[in-house]
Amino acid sequence: MRKQVLIVGIVFIGVLALGLSFPAGTRPRPAERTDCVPGQVLLKFKPSAMLFQKAAALSLTRSRAVSRIVKLDVYTVQIPDDMTVDEMVGIFGRNSDIEFAQPNYIYRAAVTPNDLYFQYQYALFNKGQQTGWVPGSPQGLPNADIKATAAWEETTGQAGVIIGILDTGVDLTHPDLKNKIVGPGYDFVNNDADATDDHGHGTMIAGIAAAETNNNEGIAGVAWNCKILPVKVLDQFGTGNSVKIAAGIVWAADNGAQILNISSGQPALDSTIENALKYAFETKGVFIAAAAGNDNTSVYYPAAYEKYVCAVSATDYNDQRTVYSNFGWELDVAAPGDSIISTYPVALTPAGFPPYKNGDGTSFASAYVAGFAALIKSLKPSLKPGEIMDIIRYSADDVNASVYPGRDQFLGFGRIDMEKGLVPLKITK
Amino acid sequence: MPLKRIAAVVCFACLSAIIFRPVDVRAQDNEIGGIRIKPGLGVEYFSRTIVWDEGQLSSKLKTSIGFLRAEIELQKGFLLGLFGGYSLSNFNGTVFRQLPFSIDYEAGNIGCFFWGADLDKTLFSIDPYEIGVQAQFVMSLGRQKELAISGLNQTGSLNGKGRWQRAEIGPVIRYTGYEDFIPFLAISYNKLWGTFSMAETVQELTGTEEKTISGGGSIGIAFGTTFNPSETFNLKAEITALPYKKTGGGLDVDYGASIKAVVLF
């Protein structure tokens, strides 16, 4: 009886082993995983493996070596058509002559747009390059950026998310913006439905937040697919007043903007503006980013209305606070604001020059935050504006931690980091 | 949900009472009103592809379980098994994108208690084959696993809780030509379902997301053998293969293995 049991057991294990190791050669190629080169496995034999052992390992598995990295002694092996990469990795892995076997993984570059001037946009991706096309432009510190290329792996935004640009208007015909604008907007300076920019500031803000991207032209915007709602509340000199700005906030909130950018301010409390912000934030669920101001003094209003507004100061290409940034405990975060290249109205650009311009200021820093907020809203539409603000705050890099650890009066929680705010955080033990 | 938990606890308590009841050693395999009860123990491992986000995404649920078992022979050829124990379930690869901060769970096993029951009924015999039907239900009770969120400028925490149930039923054919060795082949309808929830807290920012998970395949094939080398020892080993359709198209197979021993001490 014991002998019978032994024989059946051996047959059983043998059938099992055959079934698992060498499936019939007639089956079609099984579906492959998509993260590696189909039909290929990388192998490294142990130094002790003799030539005949290597040949046997390949021939017994109906595989053949197609190339070899000589200095690493790693072979690229073509596997049989009826086997998957995982199956072959498993089979080779059981061979005691083989040091390792692995799929030939496919590597992809982080999302890099093909826009002409992207190479100068250190704020999005800083590898230490020159910050402008003018020879002698300063070079930045690698990684002093908002980690945009990594974040774009997760999302480049949704067209349904609209960023209201409350500023000097937007060039509605600009080649890098015309396809991104949801409509002519509204002009509260001239009281008409044509928010064309006659100053330039608003067009620069719009370009930073959401220029058309990956179109072989101009610059990359933070929120590639989100739309722009132009709201002209500042005149051709870049000035406005409480009434126009408050009316613009309410109009933008009522006309579909989920994100607002206000890159203007003044030092006094303004209850009219505060009421408009409250309406947009609490009643309409709008996220609002605003520039802290450029006078190296206390944070200006409306940025200083901390309950409703994400107040933004500016850093430079070395992750240092810019000397002009306003400061105070109302600050939430910082973003790059120095040597920022962006779109500029075609009508205001001298003939023969491209409609793009460099600028400095917390205005531009605020536009990065507005774009970031639009991406968060695109990915998680149910979030409330306060929650979006918290994500932006808590994911910021505390770049001045060596001097002011934690939240401080100069950079708030730190320079924004879109990767941390958007890409899933890997949680290990 | 509380009712389910109460039922689970009651079943587990009954099972424990059966297994650990104070009995005369010689009476462990005694008949009680015509019913024979045998204690035992076992281990099982299975790797099961689970799909979530309405079938858009998938990952592997890898589970190792250890259990105590009571086998009750209700009548000749009709076995009821009750078992309970501890399981380690690995939900690595599950991504929560609706939390305020998206989370890619790679933190390994979540341990929890579970209970289950199985039935094995022989329907008829055609010498030397025996045809029967098997059914099993297993339910993990779930337990919170606390984790810290690192990388943000504020401290944050996560509470993950995974629960799953598995039910299977199907015919089995056994070869009874050997005295101590009974190979078998079984085909089963095998359903796995459950939830994996994650609660996130970063300062005043909070969010909860629950993934409804389900097994990628439903028809499994199991083969194995029962060894009966002595009157006091019985060993059942089984390998299960469960084909499933991959989310990107094509077929793949999940594997599982279990060993159950019934011992008369």
pLDDT one-digit tens code per residue, B111-143: 999 999 999 999 999 989 999 999 999 999 888
Q: How far apart (Å, rounded) are the C-alpha atoms in residues B18 and B5? A: 20
CATH 3.40.50.200 assigned to domain A118-422? The reply is yes
> What is the mean pLDDT of the segment spanning B9-16?
46
Task: Say how many CB pairs under 8 Å bridge A and B.
Answer: 101
**What are the structural domain ranges in chain A?**
34-107, 118-422
**Chain A contacts in chain B segment 188-247 (CB below 8 A):** 202-205, 225, 227, 239, 246
- Residues contacting residue A117 through CB under 8 Å, at least 6 positions apart: A133, A218, A219, A341, A356
Residue A4 pLDDT grade (very low, low, confident, very high; cuts 50, 70, 90): very low
Give B173's DSSP letter.
Answer: E
What percent helix, strand, coil does chain A show, rounded to 5? 30, 20, 50
- Quick one: pLDDT at residue B16? 44
Distance from CA of A421 to the nearest CA of B (A): 6
Residue A327 pLDDT grade (very low, low, confident, very high; cuts 50, 70, 90): very high
- Quick one: pLDDT at residue A16? 35
Instruction: Choose, from A115, A145, A167, A332, the residue flagged as catalytic.
Output: A167
CA torsion angle B109 B110 B112 B116 (round to 10): -60
Res. A8: pLDDT tops 70: no
- For chain A, give the mean pLDDT: 89
pLDDT one-digit tens code per residue, A69-88: 877 888 889 998 888 888 89
Residue A106 pLDDT grade (very low, low, confident, very high; cuts 50, 70, 90): low
Verify whether the Cβ–Cβ distance A5 to B107 is below 8 Å. Answer: no
Architecture field, domain A34-107: 2-Layer Sandwich (3.30)
Query: Which of A21-30, A352-361, B220-229 is predicted most confidently?
Result: A352-361
- Copy the structure tokens of residue B178: 């050997």
Contacts of B152 in chain A (CB under 8 A): 394-395, 420, 425
pLDDT one-digit tens code per residue, A148-184: 999 999 999 999 999 999 999 999 999 999 999 998 9
Portion of chain A with pLDDT greater than 90, in percent: 75
Q: Which of A425, A426, A429 to mutate to test the interface with B (most CBs of B within 10 A)?
A: A425
Res. B26: pLDDT tops 80: no
Is A199 a residue of the active site? no
**Chain A contacts in chain B segment 71-130 (CB below 8 A):** 95-98, 100-108
Contacts of B104 in chain A (CB under 8 A): 424-427
Contacts of A425 in chain B (CB under 8 A): 101-104, 149-152
Distance from CA of B115 to the nearest CA of A (A): 27
Portion of chain A with pLDDT greater than 70, in percent: 90
Least CB-CB distance to A395: which of B152, B248, B249?
A: B152
pLDDT one-digit tens code per residue, A362-406: 999 999 999 999 999 999 999 999 999 999 999 999 999 999 999
What is the CATH classification number for the domain harbouring B136? 2.40.128
Contacts of B147 in chain A (CB under 8 A): 427
- B99 is in which domain, residue-wise? 2-263
pLDDT one-digit tens code per residue, A328-357: 999 999 999 999 999 999 999 999 999 999
**Chain B contacts in chain A segment 346-385 (CB below 8 A):** 379-380, 382-383
- Quick one: pLDDT at residue A300? 96
If phi over 0 gives left and psi between -120 and 50 gives alpha, with beta otherwise, what is residue A191? left
Verify whether the Cβ–Cβ distance A380 to B106 is below 8 Å. Answer: no
Q: Which residue of B has its CA nearest to A389?
A: B205
Please state the domain count of chain B.
1
Q: What is the pTM of this model?
A: 0.77
Verify whether the Cβ–Cβ distance A424 to B183 is below 8 Å. Answer: no
> What is the mean pLDDT of the segment spanning B90-106?
92
Q: Which residue of A has its CA nearest to B246?
A: A31
Contacts of B256 in chain A (CB under 8 A): none
ipTM of the shown complex:
0.76
Backbone angles phi, psi at B135, to 5 degrees: -145, 150
Verify whether the Cβ–Cβ distance A395 to B101 is below 8 Å. Answer: yes
The Cα-based distances of A85 to A19, A34, A228, B241, B252 in angstroms read 17, 11, 47, 19, 12
Give alpha helix (H) positions in chain B.
Answer: 2-19
Q: Quick check: A205 and A263 in contact, CB under 8 A? A: yes
Q: How far apart (Å, rounded) are the C-alpha atoms in residues A178 and A171? A: 8
Q: Tally the residues of chain B.
A: 265
Is A167 a residue of the active site? yes
Give A409's DSSP letter.
Answer: T
Res. A190: pLDDT tops 60: yes
